[in-house]
Amino acid sequence: MPGLVDTHIHASQYSYAGTALDLPLLQWLNTYTFPVESQFKDLDFARKVYKQVVKRTLRNGTTTACYFATIHTDASLLLGEIANAFGQRSLVGKVCMDRNNSVKQYKETLQESQEETSRYVNYPLVKPVVTPRFAPSCTGALLGQLGAIAKNNNLHIQSHISENPEEVMLVKELFPETESYSDVYYKYNLLTDKTIMAHGCYLSDKELTLFRETGASLSHCPNSNISLCSGILNVRNVLKHNVKLGLGTDVAGGYSASLLDAMRRAQDSSKVLAMQDPDLEPLTFEEAFRLATLGGSQALSLDDQTGNFEVGKDFDALRVNLLVPGGPIDLIQHEKPKVIVTEIKNNNNNKIINCRDDRNIVEVFVAGRRVVPFTDSTPE
Ligand code: GUN
Ligand code: FE
C-alpha cells in the first residue's frame, strides 16, 4: 500500500506521549509542553529523542512527516538531518514564539525569533517550514516577519488554528481588530497554498471558504482533539468546502504516533458526530485511507512526489502482511495473505486499518529505498 503521511507531529513531545492528558490545551502547554520542549537546548537530549521518534514513525509506516521541533535552531536542523539519515521524507519547522509563555527558560524575543528563522531556512539540507507556534504565542510583529520570510523564499508554513474554545476566545482578545482567527493568519500572509494548519475544529463556513480561496490546508488530528477534550472536527463539512485535508497524529496531544490509529480515530470521531446529527454521513474507511495517503500529500503540496502509486511519483510504499506470526490477529482461513492495495475497496482490506499495527508493516520504502527493517548501515 502507499506510504502514510503524517501532516502534523511534534517530534519534541514524543518523550511524554501517552501521559499528561489531564489538562485542556492552554494549561497543558504551560504545565507539560513548554518545560519539556525547553530541554531541546541540549543537543544530546535532542538527538536521543529525535532518533526515537523518526524510527518509531518509520516503523509505523510514516513515509512522510511534517514535524514541529522546538525554538532551538540547531536541534531543529538536527531533526531534519536524522530524518534524512534514516531515509524519511520530512518537513521540519523551528518553532517561533515571542509572547505568552509562563516558562521563562523557553522564550525568544521578536528579534531572536526572526534572525534564527532566517538562519534556519537558509540551511541547505533540511526542508524547512516557517512555524509560528500559534497566534497566542506570537506578536503581530513576529507573524508579519514570518509571513515575509515565507513569501520571499516560497516556503511551507505550519501552525495551529481553532483547536479549543478557550484558545479561540484568547485570539479574539489578543487581535481585537481582526474578524476571525483565520483572518489573523491571512492578514500576515500566513494563509497560502503552502500552508498547513492543525485542527480547525471551530472554523466557520466563512473561514473554510477563505482556506479554499487561499489554497491553505488543514491537518485533522482526531486523537489529540479527543485526548485534550478540544473538540471534534466536522470532516464532512471541510470536504464539502473543498479544503485540502490530511491526517496528523499531533503527538503528544495525540498519544499515538501511528497513522493507522489516526485513521481509526477519524472514523470514530465522525461517527460520534453522525450519531448527534442523522443528516451527517460518517467518514468511510476508504475516505480515512485517502486522508492518510493522497490527502496528506496534497495538504503538504507534495502530491507530485508521493501519496499514491501514480506513474512518475516516487515509490513510497509499505509491504503489509495481514497475518504476520505473532501479530495482533489470528490466522483466519478466508483471508488471502497477500494483496497489493492501491485503493481500499472491500471490507477485508479495511482490516488493515482497524485490526493491525506496526507488526504487520514488514517493509517500508521511501523513494524506492528500503528504510524498514533497519539494517547494519542504519545510523545507531
Ligand atoms: N497549540 C499550540 N501549541 C500546541 C501544541 O504543541 N500542541 C497542540 N495540540 N496544540 C498547540
Ligand atoms: Fe500540534
- CB of 10 closer than 6 A to ligand 1? yes
Give bridge partners of residue 67 from the DSSP assignment. 9, 92
CA of 336 to the centre of ligand 1 (A): 42
Q: What's the predicted TM-score (pTM) here?
A: 0.96
Q: What is the number of the ligand 1 atom nearest to the C-alpha of 230? A: 9
Q: Are the C-beta atoms of 68 and 12 separated by less than 8 Å?
A: yes
Give bridge partners of residue 131 from the DSSP assignment. 95
Q: Name every residue whose Cβ is closer than 8 Å to that of residue 137 and which is 6 or more positions away in sequence.
A: 96, 97, 98, 99, 100, 101
Q: Are the C-beta atoms of 289 and 247 separated by less than 8 Å?
A: no
Give bridge partners of residue 198 from the DSSP assignment. 160, 219
Q: Are the C-beta atoms of 299 and 242 separated by less than 8 Å?
A: no
Architecture of domain 4-299: Alpha-Beta Barrel (3.20)
One-letter amino acid identity for 247?
L
CA of 171 to the centre of ligand 1 (A): 14
d(CA 206, CA 90): 32
Give yes or no for a cis peptide into 17 (omega within 30° of 0).
Answer: no
The closest of 210, 211, 182, 230 to 21, measured between CA atoms, is 230
CA of 44 to the centre of ligand 1 (A): 24
Residue 237, Ramachandran bin (φ over 0: left; ψ between -120 and 50: alpha; else beta):
alpha
- Predicted pLDDT at 289: 95
Q: What is the number of the ligand 1 atom nearest to the C-alpha of 253? A: 9
The pLDDT tens digits for 184-235 are 999 999 999 999 999 999 999 999 999 999 999 999 999 999 999 999 999 9
d(CA 278, CA 219): 25
CA of 334 to the centre of ligand 2 (A): 41
Q: Are the C-beta atoms of 30 and 24 separated by less than 8 Å?
A: no
The closest of 236, 288, 229, 230 to 264, measured between CA atoms, is 288
Q: Name every residue whose Cβ is closer than 8 Å to that of residue 78 and which is 6 or more positions away in sequence.
A: 43, 46, 47, 50
Q: Give the CA radius of gyration of the chain.
A: 20
Q: What is the number of the ligand 1 atom nearest to the C-alpha of 221? A: 9
CA of 10 to the centre of ligand 2 (A): 6
pLDDT range class, residue 332, cuts 50, 70, 90:
low
pLDDT range class, residue 326, cuts 50, 70, 90:
confident
Ligand nearest to the Cα of 138, by number = 1
Q: How much is the mean pLDDT over the chain?
A: 94
Here the ipTM equals: 0.99
Q: Are the C-beta atoms of 290 and 3 separated by less than 8 Å?
A: no
Burial of 278 (0-12, 13-18, 19+ CB in 10 A): exposed
Q: Is the pLDDT of residue 4 over 80?
A: yes
Q: What percent of the chain has pLDDT over 70?
A: 95
- Predicted pLDDT at 350: 74
- CB of 37 closer than 6 A to ligand 1? no
| Alpha carbon separation from 205 to 180, 217, 219, 278 (Å, rounded) | 11, 14, 17, 20
Ligand nearest to the Cα of 20, by number = 1
Q: Cell digits for 8?
A: 502534523
> Where do the CATH 3.20.20.140 domains begin and end in the chain?
4-299
Query: Which residue owns the Cα nearest ligand 1 atom 7?
Result: 253
Query: Which residue owns the Cα nearest ligand 1 atom 11?
Result: 160
The pLDDT tens digits for 147-181 are 999 999 999 999 999 999 999 999 999 999 999 99
Q: Are the C-beta atoms of 144 and 184 separated by less than 8 Å?
A: no
Say whether 26 sits in a helix, a strand or coil. helix
- CB of 220 closer than 6 A to ligand 1? no
Q: Are the C-beta atoms of 64 and 219 separated by less than 8 Å?
A: no
- CB of 29 closer than 6 A to ligand 1? yes
Burial of 369 (0-12, 13-18, 19+ CB in 10 A): exposed
Give bridge partners of residue 9 from the DSSP assignment. 67
- CB of 250 closer than 6 A to ligand 1? yes
